[in-house]
Chains A and B, each alone.
Chain A
Amino acid sequence: MRQIPVTVNGTEHLIEAWPMERLLDLLRRNLGLTGTKEGCGEGECGACAILFNGQLVNSCLIPAAQSAGSTIVTIEGLEDSRLKQAFIDTGGSQCGFCTPGMILASHVLLESNENPSELEIREALAGNLCRCTGFTKIIEAVRKARL
């Protein structure tokens, strides 16, 4: 076991973990941040997406050892009420399981591109699977949040 220092949603933590444990599990089990979901465990669905040093990453692919010293934002710590409200208003969340990852991916897009086109939104969200919505309302939510 190792002590892994991480800053999560603005708070510093020292987490006891085996080096190969997944960051996803440290967040969910050690810190109780269960808003980050596991849909596949192999980097395909984006349900476990978080902000890792400002980048969108799939936390199921990051070993604990590699997270030492990182700054992490999960859905619980994401301050973007406008985007979250847009998902509520447009119906961009159905079962909700993809929603945390989808909102983080949308947030990262809007940070780098204030006024994305429909195509740019579709491409930016292509790493986050949603089986419920068909994406129409998710795209509406992103457009609504950008205004």
Chain B
Amino acid sequence: MQDRIGTSAPRREAASKVSGRSIYTDDAPSYETLYGVTVRSTVPHARIRKIHFAPDLPLDEFTIVSADDLPGPNVVASICEDQPCLASSKVNHVEEAILLIAHPDRYLAERARQSVCIEYDPLPAVFNPALSTHAFKTCNISKGLPTQAFANAPHIIEGTYTTGAQEQLYIEPQSIDAAFLNNTLTIWGSMQCPYFIQKALDRVFPFPSRVIQMETGGGFGGKEDYPSILAIHAGLLSWKSGKPVKMIYSRGEDMAATTKRHPAIVKHRTAVDAQGRLLAMEVDILLDGGAYATLSPVVLSRAAIHATGCYFCPDIQIEARAVATNHPPHGAFRGFGVPQVNFALERHMDVIAASLRIDPVTIRRRNFLQQGQRTATGQVLHESVPLQELLDRALLESSYESKSGLGIAASLHGAGFTGSGERYLQSVACLERTAEGKIRVLVSSTEFGQGTNTILSQIVADELQLPLDDIEIVQPDTSIVPDSGPTVASRTAMIVGNLLADAARQLKSPGVNKASAKYVPPHGIAFDEATFTGDAYATFSWAVNIAELDIDQSTGQTKLKDFVAVQDAGKIINPTLAAGQIEGGVAQGIGFALMEEVTYEEGRVWNQRMANYTIPTAADLPPIRVFFLNSDASQAKGLGELPMNAPAPAIANALSRQLGTNFNHLPITPEKILKCDRSR
């Protein structure tokens, strides 16, 4: 049957997407709606001295909200609670929101926005994270006695690896509709995490609110926390005006003001023996968090835990910090800190290999983690670690032995929240049988392209032996669905999928028409947040990527010819959707490697258009060939983020090999290729 786990059931909302019938936030009909716009800071760090409105502006026609209007605390609920909803006396980054304006005519709203003039008293700004004096979070991981190992090591190899800010560039910009009616605020929008928004609204507004996810045109982490501040803004305008309010960012505003992947500086110092075996590793990680903490603390912990990647090393010291600068805040983007540290590590493995004259395959084989070994946090890998098999398959599929100049990289990705995160989330999922015998799925997990609706339906259909059409996914609405946690961290198939399977089993008992399941931490798993030791993740997914490319020596253009991605993500629920996740992630990884970098000038995003921040098009991409091993395993593991981690180092390794140089900074643009020093 086509609906069972392991079959490629078509995406449930595909028919409406291909016919243009899907309703995204800006597609919903609206009546008497005001259009909301945001007046933002034009300077990176300053006191606000005075705000002027243009004298010819008929102020009474507009709804204007400043920090003084807030009906509750001026804070966006998040980990550190340091970010205001609207700046009051001081701004800490360019594009920080200061005022909100709404008007029934969107052109007039925009004109009013442009006519506001703000006087500032500038303050010194910090853009170099190495000069920052404020750390949002530090985290240190120690295993064994690295100092001693370094003292006796035959070889010590060092390297510094950097990556820039990357824009998610979901094609649907940030979009929120708000309506304040009968003392309740309702938010409809493009989002990943309805309950994050709910919590943010509950903090600011002294009345009830409700959050509903609309069809969402991509997220990739960019709609994890950012929609919270936008929902507060739209809510404030609606509450003050008493009218529905629509806030749809233009592409330029979205690119200039919303969160991006953290720029990173990663330093490795590694002791190895003559055969290239890792004896001791020191890793130093510095993330530019931007002006407010947002999700930096958890991006940092994931980055630190993944810093030694797929390799075993007895003695490890990892020091990581995410610091404040006057850049707009950096935040969640698919991979969540791992693409940066994995680029560093996988490049460093090739650097070690080259300096010891060992080939890149051998150095990886000698050091790959094995079942039963301990990771940097001391976590014992009880499950199988199929890295050797993944590498074998990738070598075979890429015809590695018969070609030259290919680049290899491996990666792992911990599924679910880091450490005790899942324990705190206490996710819940519910099922209901309707009078017609259909099953309604009640979860807050959202569909934004990854296939959530389809795979969760398949899990329930499989357990209950029902056709997929009998399963109905209820639109995520915080007044109806329970909190099954945010749709992030490659957790949905594994965590929410298991809860639904459990609820479905309960429904099989006669007379049971409603069932719910709550997350119970797996037995014997423990993580110590203070010392960063223990079981950081319930399970890991694994991948090996190989890139084949040609370089046009006259233009510096890299032409990818083939890309092989082999992974173990546990049980594959829907092979077509799973492959689609890998292909899309690899494409973003290719962009990260070769072309994508948000450029800041005095804290302002310089390239805030699709014309000057370019992403790979159909013509730039190679065929991306995807293979899953162990796809009939008993458990699904995460796969959404895994494919983001290895493409960039695989490509950088191929380019470095072919040109006899070290490309240790991303992206590797044609200019860098033309100017590179080939004297390695």
Which secondary structure dominates where chain A touches chain B? loop
Q: How far is the CB of A23 from chain B (nearest CB, A)?
A: 16
Q: How far is the CB of A119 from chain B (nearest CB, A)?
A: 8
Q: How far is the CB of A8 from chain B (nearest CB, A)?
A: 13
Q: Are A121 and B18 in contact (CB under 8 A)?
A: no
**Residues of A contacting B250 in the complex (Cβ-Cβ under 8 angstroms):** 41
Taking the complex as formed, is A31 at the interface, i.e. its CB lies under 8 A from any CB of chain B? Answer: no
* Chain B window 21-57, contacts with chain A (Cβ cutoff 8 Å), 1 for yes, 0 for no: 1111011010000000000000000000000000000
Q: Are A138 and B576 in contact (CB under 8 A)?
A: no
**Residues of A contacting B216 in the complex (Cβ-Cβ under 8 angstroms):** 95
**Residues of B contacting A45 in the complex (Cβ-Cβ under 8 angstroms):** 171, 251, 610
With beta carbons under 8 angstroms apart, the residue of A39, A93, A134 that contacts B583 is A134
Taking the complex as formed, is A98 at the interface, i.e. its CB lies under 8 A from any CB of chain B? Answer: yes
Q: Are A91 and B18 in contact (CB under 8 A)?
A: no
Complex-state Cα separation, A93 to B26, whole angstroms: 19
Q: Are B251 and A135 in contact (CB under 8 A)?
A: no
* Chain A window 1-41, contacts with chain B (Cβ cutoff 8 Å), 1 for yes, 0 for no: 00000000000000000000000000010001111111111
**Residues of A contacting B579 in the complex (Cβ-Cβ under 8 angstroms):** 91, 136-137
Taking the complex as formed, is A75 at the interface, i.e. its CB lies under 8 A from any CB of chain B? Answer: yes
Q: Are B172 and A91 in contact (CB under 8 A)?
A: no
Taking the complex as formed, is B247 at the interface, i.e. its CB lies under 8 A from any CB of chain A? Answer: no
Q: Are B11 and A88 in contact (CB under 8 A)?
A: yes
Q: Are A129 and B18 in contact (CB under 8 A)?
A: no
Q: Are B18 and A93 in contact (CB under 8 A)?
A: yes
Taking the complex as formed, is A44 at the interface, i.e. its CB lies under 8 A from any CB of chain B? Answer: yes
Complex-state Cα separation, A81 to B538, whole angstroms: 45
| CB-CB nearest in chain B for A85 | B18
Complex-state Cα separation, A41 to B252, whole angstroms: 9
Q: Are A136 and B215 in contact (CB under 8 A)?
A: no
Q: Are A133 and B172 in contact (CB under 8 A)?
A: no
Q: How far is the CB of A51 from chain B (nearest CB, A)?
A: 13
Q: Are B20 and A75 in contact (CB under 8 A)?
A: yes
Q: Are B14 and A134 in contact (CB under 8 A)?
A: no
Taking the complex as formed, is B173 at the interface, i.e. its CB lies under 8 A from any CB of chain A? Answer: yes
Q: How far is the CB of A38 from chain B (nearest CB, A)?
A: 7
Taking the complex as formed, is B621 at the interface, i.e. its CB lies under 8 A from any CB of chain A? Answer: yes
Complex-state Cα separation, A103 to B449, whole angstroms: 17
**Residues of B contacting A97 in the complex (Cβ-Cβ under 8 angstroms):** 24, 170-172, 217-218
**Residues of A contacting B586 in the complex (Cβ-Cβ under 8 angstroms):** 134
Q: How far is the CB of A16 from chain B (nearest CB, A)?
A: 15
Q: How far is the CB of A87 from chain B (nearest CB, A)?
A: 5
B 152-184 contacts with A by CB, 8 A: 168-173
Which secondary structure dominates where chain B touches chain A? loop
**Residues of B contacting A75 in the complex (Cβ-Cβ under 8 angstroms):** 19-20
Q: Are B615 and A94 in contact (CB under 8 A)?
A: no
Q: Are B450 and A74 in contact (CB under 8 A)?
A: no
* Chain B window 4-23, contacts with chain A (Cβ cutoff 8 Å), 1 for yes, 0 for no: 00001011011101111111
**Residues of A contacting B17 in the complex (Cβ-Cβ under 8 angstroms):** 93, 96, 99
Taking the complex as formed, is B148 at the interface, i.e. its CB lies under 8 A from any CB of chain A? Answer: no
Q: How far is the CB of A145 from chain B (nearest CB, A)?
A: 11
Complex-state Cα separation, A127 to B615, whole angstroms: 12
Q: Are B609 and A84 in contact (CB under 8 A)?
A: no
Q: How far is the CB of B29 from chain A (nearest CB, A)?
A: 7
**Residues of A contacting B10 in the complex (Cβ-Cβ under 8 angstroms):** 88-89, 91
Complex-state Cα separation, A37 to B190, whole angstroms: 14
B 215-260 contacts with A by CB, 8 A: 215-220, 250-251
| CB-CB nearest in chain B for A140 | B576
Q: Are B617 and A126 in contact (CB under 8 A)?
A: yes
Q: Given that A35-B19, A88-B11 are contacting pairs, would A94 and B450 also be in contact in the complex, using a CB cutoff of 8 Å?
A: yes
**Residues of A contacting B13 in the complex (Cβ-Cβ under 8 angstroms):** 96
Q: Are A95 and B448 in contact (CB under 8 A)?
A: yes
Q: Given that A95-B216, A96-B449 are contacting pairs, would A87 and B619 also be in contact in the complex, using a CB cutoff of 8 Å?
A: no
Taking the complex as formed, is B584 at the interface, i.e. its CB lies under 8 A from any CB of chain A? Answer: yes
Taking the complex as formed, is A115 at the interface, i.e. its CB lies under 8 A from any CB of chain B? Answer: no
Taking the complex as formed, is A64 at the interface, i.e. its CB lies under 8 A from any CB of chain B? Answer: no
Taking the complex as formed, is B652 at the interface, i.e. its CB lies under 8 A from any CB of chain A? Answer: no
* Chain A window 27-71, contacts with chain B (Cβ cutoff 8 Å), 1 for yes, 0 for no: 010001111111111101101000000000000000000000000
Complex-state Cα separation, A127 to B22, whole angstroms: 23
Taking the complex as formed, is B587 at the interface, i.e. its CB lies under 8 A from any CB of chain A? Answer: yes
Q: Given that A34-B23, A37-B217 are contacting pairs, would A42 and B580 also be in contact in the complex, using a CB cutoff of 8 Å?
A: no
A-B contact pairs, 15 of them (CB 8 A): A35-B21, A39-B251, A42-B610, A45-B251, A76-B21, A88-B18, A91-B10, A91-B14, A95-B172, A96-B17, A96-B449, A99-B17, A131-B170, A134-B584, A135-B621
Query: Known contacts A93-B18, A137-B579; can you find 13 more A-B pairs with CB under 8 A?
Result: A35-B19, A41-B250, A89-B10, A91-B577, A93-B14, A95-B219, A96-B18, A96-B215, A97-B172, A97-B217, A127-B617, A133-B580, A139-B618
Q: Which 9 pairs show the lowest CB-CB distances between chains A and B? A: A35-B20, A95-B449, A97-B217, A96-B17, A134-B587, A134-B583, A75-B20, A34-B27, A44-B610
